Amino acid sequence: MSEEQISVQHNLFDAVPVERFQILSKEELVELCKQHQKIIVTVTKDNDRLRALNEELKQKSLLIEDQYVTIKNKLFGKSSERSSKPKPAGGGGDKSKKKKVLLPSERYPNAPLIERHITLDNPACGCCGSHMEDSGMTEESEYLTKIPAQYYVVVQVKHKYRCASCHGDIKTAPTPPRVIEGGSYSDEMVIDVACSKYCDLIPIERQAQMAAREGLKGLPPHSLIEATHYLAQYLEGAYKILKFEILENLIFHADETPHRMLEGDKKNNWFLWGFSTKTTSYFECHSTRSGEVASMLLTDSKCQYLVSDVYSGYSKAVGDTNKIRLSRGDPLIKHVFCNAHPRRYFKQAQDRFPEASFFIKQYRKIYRLEKLAQKNPDIRLKIRARMTKYFEKMKTKCIADVGGYSSKSGLGKAMSYFKKLREGLTRFIMNADLPIDNNPQERLLRSHVIGRKTWYGTHSKLGAKTAAILFSLVESCKLNGVNPRAYLKSLVSDLHLGIGPYTPYQFKVAQETRARS
């Protein structure tokens, strides 16, 4: 019933004179009361419906405003989550203290030095015009230079040997082993292309254009892409050892990111799954985001702590693995959640809810203590114990205030998130080996995320596997402070000799051992 109809009925009812009620029968009075009661019920229902609709519109409005702020910050805000440092009261430090300017040879001690003498041809004295002699004194200055990449073709001339006595045999000098036997590219060329793409994130098409500008025109990108497939297959043994290193660790990180399959499979939306420890980074590329990918790895591992976000796939993987471990009597896996996520949610909500600054301040104090704890491993647990009061303050405020905010608002969602996951968020306090967040794994995925903006994806399943292998080796090099080019060059050379394979961590240990001996 519309509001106009209700209004008309009310007016008609009010317009009835009192004398009319006196001449109505009992049945007519009952019927009139029933009609009036129906009108009241209808009006009440309509009011309830309008209130519910108003509340729904209010919730949608809050959600849209939060989404608008989030999108605006992504497009125009700072990419860093760090809070701006307060400026000193004096307007800055002492500008009179200037930093010492280092010479290029001091800045880059590993760069080779070339000494170039600059002389004069038969200089004459400006005073008397006489011929001048070299005094032996010099004045030195330094600058850094670069020799552009040089491409050249190597012609291999294999000598043949014959028997001078019986003339019954001829032997040819063997061809040195290469990653691509009989191919058009040397190992150095293939390694350079792979490192340029998977370490320096330069698309292979762009590498071909760069080569053309340096004098080598017509270099086919598709042929170079195929060369990286050969390299990945050649290094697959080292990739398998990386997986073994992951499985043997008690703590590892996990995260995933979209990977675009441009062709070669029915599904376009693939995912690059990343797992890591302090010394190892391991990637797998799959056509699904199902938690079964993590389950397969966890089932065969010795992992006792999985550090990740709250994606349900990881919770399912931990649950399924713990069921198997429970039946075998093995230690169960505990989930450690990333503190960077709730901190990020509170920071995003701060634009519309200034009261979120309370939580940001608590997290700022927590991360300051964590920075101090990392510098003092012997007393790490004592330092971390001081964080408990800040987590308790946030818990108390969440319990007291969460009901006062819409569940769809930014601050409401952030408080609910923290309140629900507080146990997993604070688990690191009691274990010195556990990290405070999952940022190390997210940093390992950054190269892939940046790279896919330029090369978009892979064109085959083989390309996806190549990306997983080469990203795993390169990112493991970065974790261990190893030059990826030096590692790949050494690994390929040793594999030709039947030595290896070995991981970047093993390569680093071997180098340190040789340096000490």
Alpha-carbon span 284 to 464, nearest angstrom: 9
Q: Which residue has the higher pLDDT, 273 or 264?
A: 273
Which pLDDT value is given to residue 101? 85
pLDDT digits (tens, 9 = 90+) for 392-413: 999 999 999 888 888 888 899 9
CA nearest 459: which of 139, 221, 190? 221
Which pLDDT value is given to residue 1? 47
Alpha-carbon span 378 to 362, nearest angstrom: 24
Let me know: does 231 contact 194? Beta carbons within 8 Å: yes
Which pLDDT value is given to residue 106? 87
Write the CB contacts of 437 (distance below 8 Å, at least 6 apart in sequence).
338, 339, 340, 341
Which pLDDT value is given to residue 408? 84
414-439: average pLDDT = 94
Q: Which residue has the higher pLDDT, 501 or 76?
A: 501
Confidence of residue 12 (pLDDT cuts 50, 70, 90): very low
Alpha-carbon span 342 to 405, nearest angstrom: 17
Residue 94 has pLDDT above 70, yes or no: no
Residue 105 has pLDDT above 90, yes or no: no
Burial of 78 (0-12, 13-18, 19+ CB in 10 A): exposed
pLDDT digits (tens, 9 = 90+) for 162-180: 998 888 899 999 989 999 9
β-pairing, 334-337 with 160-162?
unpaired
Q: Specify the DSSP class assigned to residue 115.
A: -
293-322: average pLDDT = 94
DSSP notation for 58-81: HHHHHHHHHHHHHHHHHHHS-S--
Which pLDDT value is given to residue 6? 46
The gap from C-alpha 486 to its chain's centroid, in whole angstroms, comes to: 24
User: Distance between the two ends of the chain, CA-based, in angstroms?
Assistant: 94
pTM of the model: 0.80
SS3 308: strand
Residue 435 has pLDDT above 90, yes or no: yes
pLDDT, mean over the chain: 87
Within 13 Å of residue 135, how many CA atoms lie on the same side as its CB?
Answer: 5
Which pLDDT value is given to residue 393? 94
Let me know: does 341 contact 311? Beta carbons within 8 Å: no
Residue 427 has pLDDT above 90, yes or no: yes
301-329: average pLDDT = 94
Which pLDDT value is given to residue 75? 57
* 39-53, 74-88, 229-243, 466-480: least confidently modelled range: 74-88
Residue 153 has pLDDT above 70, yes or no: yes
pLDDT digits (tens, 9 = 90+) for 232-242: 999 999 999 99
Alpha-carbon span 193 to 202, nearest angstrom: 9
Write the CB contacts of 248 (distance below 8 Å, at least 6 apart in sequence).
301, 302
Confidence of residue 195 (pLDDT cuts 50, 70, 90): very high
Alpha-carbon span 382 to 368, nearest angstrom: 14
Which pLDDT value is given to residue 13? 47
Which pLDDT value is given to residue 168? 87
Let me know: does 197 contact 244? Beta carbons within 8 Å: no
245-250: average pLDDT = 95
CA nearest 178: which of 168, 169, 170, 188? 188
Which pLDDT value is given to residue 77? 57
Helices 221-234/187-198 angle, 10° precision: 100
Let me know: does 39 contact 6? Beta carbons within 8 Å: yes
Q: Which residue has the higher pLDDT, 90 or 493?
A: 493
Helix segments in 350-409, DSSP class H: 357-375, 380-385, 388-401
Which amino acid would we find at residue 174?
A: P
